[in-house]
Structure 1
């Protein structure tokens, strides 16, 4: 199972100091968080894509390409790449390049985005969000898998004799996650193609996430990709930790109360009781995270949000230390315990390459020699 962090890249005032980082400071902080994530043993770093203030990650592959040069092991992903407003040809090119510069440490999470004004900025109509998703993703798959593409659709100009350059690393396209909070059509799209389904999970109660994941698993099996238990599932989560739970609550409360995405609404305690948000000790984070398996089954990727709402970089890096030192070792051990043998491991470039290349059949002499 893979564990990691994702960022939405918000530029938010620290409510305890009144200080707002500059865009340059926020971008540099994101780079520091990615480097620290690898240092503490996390498996994945993912960045969102936004094209409006107060967010800065408008060009995720530029950011991830720079991080690739500063890291050696961590998988680089998005959370999400906008399949609706980005041209599929450009997505295919950018992520093929990212595969090459990172040595295969790249995958992609596709989503529709939740900012309505973005659609007209890129010449699209939000009312066509789901049809755009379906059409654009169908083209994206072909671009990564076919040497020469002839294609015609409804929302972009046709392609005639188009060849993607560069081709995917080792001829293996990046693994695709489809991210969604509330849209069953996206769960169906992921299931139809046998791709991964990522339930963002951080705003909704367990009952909603359970229904979405169950739908995806049923349709994954229906489309013939394996059993429902073999479907590839990822979850989001949001944590804030101190060794003493009361210290965590006291410190995080002003950030929660003023957060761009859930401030000025339910109380911290109410929101924590209804959603995966965990504010407390490492032991509490472990307990709640392990509980996710009770309603989604064995899954492959867990990403945590740790840098939202104006938290200073120093505090975020302390969160990563706690994750690496006290939370991850226990989660790895507990999630591995009792995991059925037929549940797939989290996808990696190396695993996808092995699955594509069957083991060579040994010649009889070699077989005989091994038997002696």
Structure 2
């Protein structure tokens, strides 16, 4: 089981102090958070991709390459890479380059994005979001697996005898997660290719996301990649931890109430009841996270959002200490003990290379 954090990279005023970080401060804070995640024993750091204020991570591979040079073990990923508005050729080459720089500690999550205006900014039509995702990934998948590609589609110029460079490290493409919060077509796409499916269920009730995950599992089995319970599932989460729940609620409430996405909407109590958000003690975080398996089945990757809504870096680093020292070791032990032997562990480059050589399921545990 893999545990990690993801960031959306928002620049938000701290409602308790009035301080708004500069873009430079926020970018440097994200780097510090990634390094701290490795230090406390987490497995994954993922960054979003946005091209509009108040967000700063417009170039994920630049940031991840910088972090790769300062870390040794942690998997570097995205949450998400925009498959609709990025050129598949550029994605193929950028992430292959990152693979080499990071010695394979790379995967990525593909998504359509949640900002409508980004489509025309990059010359695309939001009404074509699903067809763009399907066609662009079809090309990306081939670019990583075929040395010479001849291709023609609807949304970009044809390719003739094209070779993406560099080639993927060890001849193995980065593992791909397809992220979606509402589109069954994306769950179907993930299942068709035998890729991972990531349900970032941080805003809506779990029942909505269970339908998507169940669909993905059924179709994964239908396409012959393995049994439904062997499908590769990732889940989002959100937390704020303190030694006791009263302090956690008191400290986090002003950030929640003024958060750009859900502030001035449902109460903190309503939101924690209806979504995976946990605000409380380490044991409360453990108890609630363990219920995810009851809803979604055995899964491979759990990412938490910890650094948004204006939370200062000092507070985020304290959260990571508690997460790494008191929460994740218990979750890892409990969930790994419950997972049947035939259900794969989280994907790694080493496992993918071994699977190619041995013809086994890509993420199977050793």
TM over 0.5, shorter chain: yes
Q: Which residue is equivalent to 2:239?
A: 239
Displacement of 1:338 in angstroms is 2.5
**1:173-230 CA distance string (max 9 Å, x none):** 0000000111111101000110000000100111112111101100111111110000
**Is 2:118 the partner of 1:118?**
yes
1:138-287 matched pairs, under 5 angstroms? 138-287=138-287
Which secondary structure state, in structure 1, belongs to the residue aligned with residue 123 of structure 2? coil
What is the RMSD computed on CA atoms of the aligned residues? Answer: 0.7
Please give the alpha-carbon distance, in whole angstroms, between the structure 1 residues aligned to 2:297 and 2:358: 30
Which secondary structure state, in structure 2, belongs to the residue aligned with residue 234 of structure 1? strand
Please give the alpha-carbon distance, in whole angstroms, between the structure 2 residues aligned to 1:254 and 1:345: 38
Please give the alpha-carbon distance, in whole angstroms, between the structure 2 residues aligned to 1:305 and 1:251: 16
Displacement of 1:337 in angstroms is 1.6
Which segments of 5 or more consecutive residues in structure 1 lack a partner in the other structure? 360-372
Give the total of aligned pairs. 359
Please give the alpha-carbon distance, in whole angstroms, between the structure 2 residues aligned to 1:219 and 1:47: 28
Q: Which residue is equivalent to 1:128?
A: 128
Please give the alpha-carbon distance, in whole angstroms, between the structure 1 residues aligned to 2:358 and 2:45: 30
Which secondary structure state, in structure 1, belongs to the residue aligned with residue 358 of structure 2? coil
Which segments of 5 or more consecutive residues in structure 2 lack a partner in the other structure? 360-366
Please give the alpha-carbon distance, in whole angstroms, between the structure 1 residues aligned to 2:209 and 2:284: 20
Please give the alpha-carbon distance, in whole angstroms, between the structure 2 residues aligned to 1:206 and 1:127: 27
Please give the alpha-carbon distance, in whole angstroms, between the structure 2 residues aligned to 1:11 and 1:135: 33
Please give the alpha-carbon distance, in whole angstroms, between the structure 1 residues aligned to 2:225 and 2:296: 18
Q: Which residue is equivalent to 1:93?
A: 93
Please give the alpha-carbon distance, in whole angstroms, between the structure 2 residues aligned to 1:294 and 1:211: 14
Which secondary structure state, in structure 1, belongs to the residue aligned with residue 338 of structure 2? coil
Please give the alpha-carbon distance, in whole angstroms, between the structure 1 residues aligned to 2:259 and 2:204: 16
Q: Which residue is equivalent to 1:317?
A: 317
Which secondary structure state, in structure 1, belongs to the residue aligned with residue 266 of structure 2? coil
Q: Which residue is equivalent to 1:80?
A: 80
Q: Which residue is equivalent to 1:292?
A: 292
Q: Which residue is equivalent to 1:355?
A: 355
Please give the alpha-carbon distance, in whole angstroms, between the structure 2 residues aligned to 1:48 and 1:306: 13
Which secondary structure state, in structure 2, belongs to the residue aligned with residue 6 of structure 1? strand
Q: Which residue is equivalent to 1:305?
A: 305
Q: Which residue is equivalent to 1:41?
A: 41
Please give the alpha-carbon distance, in whole angstroms, between the structure 1 residues aligned to 2:127 and 2:206: 28
Please give the alpha-carbon distance, in whole angstroms, between the structure 1 residues aligned to 2:221 and 2:344: 14
Please give the alpha-carbon distance, in whole angstroms, between the structure 2 residues aligned to 1:95 and 1:127: 27
Select the structure of larger CA radius of gyration.
1
Please give the alpha-carbon distance, in whole angstroms, between the structure 2 residues aligned to 1:325 and 1:147: 45
Displacement of 1:358 in angstroms is 2.7
Q: Which residue is equivalent to 1:4?
A: 4
